[in-house]
Amino acid sequence: MKKPRILIVDDNKVNIELLRAQLKPYDYTIETALDGEEALSKILKDPPDMVLLDLMMPKISGYEVCRSIKQNKNTQFVPVIVITALQELDDKLKAIELGADDFLVKPFNKLELITRIKSLLRMKELHDDLDTSESILFSLAEALEAKDIYTRGHSERVAKYSLEIAKALVLPSHELEVIRKGGLLHDIGKIGVREDILLKPGRLTDEEMVHVRSHPTRGFDICSPLKSLEEALTCIRSHHERYDGTGYPDGLKGEDIPICGQILAVADTFDAMTTDRPYRKALPVATAIKIMEDENESGQWNPNIVKIFLDIIKNNKIELFNSKP
């Protein structure tokens, strides 16, 4: 197992060596930086598993280092323990507000330091395991599409279109991430659908259609074990529901359909229209727009979401993939 890497950041070499000596009995790889600038350079190049950070340093303060770590999506989950001589409550509150995971005032108890390090490293390990599990699912979904020239890149496009709709609806940033994950994984249930059915150029039989229509619930079941995907499960399950209640798998109607499912349904339909499929060639974008405008009151979609999406396309606010003009 790889040793956890801990970066000690302090402009005082004596303090660095004291910390190094305290951590020596433990199975950690220790790295050091003498100022904030050097620290950020090392962190961005190769993120450590933890940062022990002094606040008062030349060039870039510990506050700014902490802010930069927590605002960068590649390092935001790296635990930061602030270790400082500053004892004012305001200093502690400022560090915590900037994302510091813990705060120790010098002189501190060695046992307290080690206990906090072990606790935060364990939390990071759990997060990394979760991140790996999600990555495996995303790779699985991508591999599924790669086998089929007709749907290659489909989920990525659906996720992109859905995000633009969600932004236009001014949904909270947290929901944007849920919709992105839902878009990338919405068809993962097709792993359980036979390839000859997915690639069939002609009309599907009733039995084959039942098989295809099982993919939202299969996808739901595949992703259910991952707690981090809990909110995205509704997107995966509901992306084939219809606004008039005649969709599947649950026959939800109107606003009973989760908003992410309503959004994905529109994005999914548009991408299906404007890309080649086994049973027909891609439609020009203008034709797809006309069809969706004409059928916007048919009951398939939320009319407001369709209007928003078509306005985005007409105003060139989104790059369209693999589609004819």
Instruction: Summarize pLDDT for 155-186 with one digit per residue, the tens.
Output: 999 999 999 999 999 999 999 999 999 999 99
pLDDT at res. 95? 79
Q: Is the pLDDT of residue 323 over 60?
A: no
Region 102-122: mean pLDDT is 87
pLDDT at res. 148? 62
Instruction: Summarize pLDDT for 186-199 with one digit per residue, the tens.
Output: 999 988 788 888 88
- What are phi and psi for residue 98, nearest 5 degrees? -85, 0
Q: Compare 317 and 125 and report the one with higher pLDDT.
A: 125
pLDDT at res. 150? 62
pLDDT at res. 304? 96
Instruction: Summarize pLDDT for 9-43 with one digit per residue, the tens.
Output: 999 999 999 999 999 999 999 999 999 999 999 99
pLDDT at res. 179? 97
**In this structure, are residues 241 and 252 in contact, taking their beta carbons and an 8 Å threshold?**
yes
Superfamily (CATH) of domain 5-127: Response regulator (3.40.50.2300)
- What are phi and psi for residue 7, nearest 5 degrees? -100, 120
DSSP-based helix, strand, coil % in the chain, nearest 5: 55, 10, 35
Q: Name the nearest CA neighbour of 70 among 114, 40, 46.
A: 40
Q: What is the CATH number of domain 148-314?
A: 1.10.3210.10
Q: Is the pLDDT of residue 324 over 60?
A: no
Q: Is the pLDDT of residue 278 over 80?
A: no
Q: Compare 233 and 141 and report the one with higher pLDDT.
A: 233
What strands lie across the sheet with 102-105, from one edge to the other? 29-33, 5-9, 50-53, 80-84, 102-105
Residue located via tokens 């961005």: 44
Domain boundaries, the chain: 5-127, 148-314
Q: Is the pLDDT of residue 241 over 90?
A: yes
78/60 Cα distance (integer angstroms):
19
Region 119-144: mean pLDDT is 77
Among 103-107, 136-140, 218-222, 224-228, name the most confident range: 218-222
268/132 Cα distance (integer angstroms):
27
Mean pLDDT of the chain: 88
User: Could you give the percent of the chain with pLDDT greater than 90?
Assistant: 56
Q: For residue 82, what are the β-bridge partners?
A: 53, 103
32 CB neighbour count, 10 Å cutoff: 18
Cα of 236 vs its chain's centroid, Å: 14
Beta strand 50-53 with 80-84 is parallel
CA separation (Å) from 44 to 38, 68, 117, 127? 10, 10, 21, 19
User: Could you give the percent of the chain with pLDDT greater than 70?
Assistant: 95
9/31 Cα distance (integer angstroms):
9
Instruction: Summarize pLDDT for 287-309 with one digit per residue, the tens.
Output: 999 999 988 888 899 999 999 99
Region 90-101: mean pLDDT is 81
Q: Is the pLDDT of residue 91 over 80?
A: no
